[in-house]
Amino acid sequence: MADTIDTRGSLRRLWDWFWGPTAVLSVGFTLVAGFLAGILFWGGFHWTLEMTNSEAFCVSCHTMETNLGEYRETIHYNNHSGVRAVCADCHVPKEWQHKVKAKIIAVKDVYHELRGSIATPELYEERRLQMAALVWKKMKANDSRECRNCHNFEYMDFTIQETRAASEHQRAIDTGMTCIDCHQGIAHNLPAGYLEEYERVVKSLQKPSASTETNAVKAYLADKTQ
C-alpha cells in the first residue's frame, strides 16, 4: 500500500516538474512546442521532397521532346497493367538518406540549366553518352536499386517469361549481374557507341576484373556487339 502511494507521489512530482515553470518555460511546453515545430518543418521538408519527385517538376527543365518523348514510347509509360514508372521512380532513390543525398547532388543541375548545357536537342545529343554513363555508373554501383523497388527476381515466374528472358535471368542470378548490365535503353534512346561506354563504366568501378560478375558482363556485352 505504502509503495503505491510513494509511486503516485513521485509521479506527481515528475508531472509537476514536467509541466511546471522552470527558468522560463516548462520542460513539457518546450518539448511539445518543439515537437509541433518539428512536424511543421518535417512536413514542409517532406512536401519539398515529394514535389521535386514529380514528372512535372523534372520536365519543367527536361522539356525537350528528346527526353520525355522517348520515354512516352516505352512500356514504363503505358502498359497493359496500368502501372507507370515516372522519372523519379528510376532516377531518385526511395530510402530517405539516399534520397536526400541525391537531391543535394542534383543542385548541380540547376547550375547546368542556367548555363544551358543541354538546352537544345543538339546539345543534348552531344552530352547524352556522358549523361547516360553517369546513370549507368550509379545503377551499376547500387545494384540497380531503383529497378528493384518494383521488380524482383524472386517474384518473377520464369515459367511464363519467354525462354530467353528466363535463361538470362537465371544467368544473372548465378553470376551476380544486375538489371542495367542487360537493360540499357529501356526508357530512352541509346547513342552510338553505348556498349563500349558501358564497358568503360564497368571497368571504372574497380571490381576485381577477374570476378565472375565482371566476366559475365564482358561475355554478355561481347555477344551483343557481334
Q: Which three cell numbers stand for residue 204?
A: 571504372
Q: Please say which residue, 27 or 106, places its beta carbon nearer to ligand HEC.
A: 106
137 binds ligand HEC (CB under 6 A): no
Among 140, 172, 201, 214, binds ligand HEC (CB under 6 A): 172
221 binds ligand HEC (CB under 6 A): no
* Cβ 32 vs Cβ 23: under 8 Å: no
39 binds ligand HEC (CB under 6 A): no
Among 93, 140, 187, 214, binds ligand HEC (CB under 6 A): 187
Q: Please say which residue, 31 or 141, places its beta carbon nearer to ligand HEC.
A: 141
202 binds ligand HEC (CB under 6 A): no
112 binds ligand HEC (CB under 6 A): yes
Whats the size of the chain, residue-wise?
A: 226
How many Cα atoms are found within 13 Å in the side-chain-facing hemisphere of 184? 27
157 binds ligand HEC (CB under 6 A): no
Among 68, 98, 195, 221, binds ligand HEC (CB under 6 A): 68
* Cβ 184 vs Cβ 128: under 8 Å: no
53 binds ligand HEC (CB under 6 A): yes
Distance CA 133, CA 140 (A): 10
Build a one-symbol-per-residue string for 69-98: x at contacts with ligand HEC by CB under 6 A, - elsewhere.
--x---xx--xxx-x-x-xxxxxx------
DSSP letter for each residue of 34-86:
HHHHHHHHHHHHHHHHHHTTSHHHHHHH--SHHHHHHHHTSTTTS-TT-----
The minimum distance between CB 40 and ligand HEC, in angstroms, equals: 24
* CA 116, 121, 123, 125 torsion-angle sign: positive
* Cβ 18 vs Cβ 26: under 8 Å: yes
Cα 86 versus chain centre, distance:
11
Binding site for ligand HEC (CB under 6 A): 52-53, 55, 57-62, 67-68, 71, 75-76, 79-81, 83, 85, 87-92, 109-110, 112-113, 117-118, 127-128, 131-132, 134-136, 144, 146-151, 153, 161-162, 164-165, 168-169, 171-172, 177-188, 190, 220
